[in-house]
Amino acid sequence: MNAPRITLECVTIRLGGKPIVHGVSLDLAGGALVALIGPNGAGKTTLLKAMAGLLPHEGRLAFDAREAASFARQERARLVGYLPQGHQVHWPLPAEDIVALGRFPHGVVDPRRLSPADSRIIREAMRLTGTEGLAGQAATTLSGGERARIMLARVLAVEAPVLLADEPTASLDPRHQLVVMDILRQQARQGRLVIAVTHDLTLAARMADRIVLMDGGAVVASGPPDDVLSDRQLAETYGIRALRLDHDGEPGLIPWQVEDHP
């Protein structure tokens, strides 16, 4: 897989005429798990949606130096896998059919008529997410955590070089939070560019290769976790102090207390 690259230059996104994201410039290359973090209302989801082609933007947004607007819809759907928040499912389809939706950008129109290659990809996505046992269960009967993993399997089935995930560990128990983040990290190790919005600073500090910190619609810091999650930056952006630790050679960070305030 050729390492993908996303380039943003002075990207501004307006909703209802109001700039929600403004002046964002980033250069993100494949082979990395990027954690997109920041307080509520910082613009993280809005920026992710623009990268997924779901919101219009001003400024330059390019994939591998090619303007995002030049991609046909199906072509972009093969390039970018997008996992939104919420994991809502409104149809009582078997979970396996939900995962099969990930093959639609590749020409699959009927989940009951899959090629051997498509079937293999779907089975592998379900194996990675630990959802093989849910294959025949109606998606509307699944728990929130089960739906989250099924929807992740759907995105993995796209086999896109860019994977965008909005709070992928929300509603998951601690074990599956670690499983999902490890899956995303392994996808990055295979050469994909994985960008995950998260509020979990502990997981971001441990799992991410790079962190992009947003506040007030702008990027205020970008780089390795140790640099971005400094005591000064955490105090300025979140108003918190953190407990730091090292276990088995891996860094750990736990939000510990609120900074003194009036």
**What CA–CA distance (Å, rounded) separates 4 from 239?**
35
CB 231 within 8 A of CB 241: yes
**What CA–CA distance (Å, rounded) separates 169 from 172?**
5
Mean pLDDT by groups of 10 residues along the chain of 262 residues: 87 95 96 97 97 96 93 92 84 90 87 87 94 93 89 96 95 90 95 97 95 97 96 95 88 88 52
Query: 5-258: what fold?
Result: Rossmann fold (3.40.50)
**What CA–CA distance (Å, rounded) separates 194 from 34?**
6
Residue 1's pLDDT is what? 59
CA-to-CA separations, 139 to 60, 93, 99, 128, 253, in angstroms, rounded = 38, 6, 10, 18, 35
CA-to-CA separations, 250 to 7, 35, 49, 207, 247, in angstroms, rounded = 30, 17, 32, 9, 5
Distance of CA 83 to the CA centre of its chain: 6
Structure tokens at 70: 């030049």
pTM: 0.94
pLDDT tens, residue by residue, 33-78? 999 999 999 999 999 999 999 999 999 999 998 999 999 999 999 9
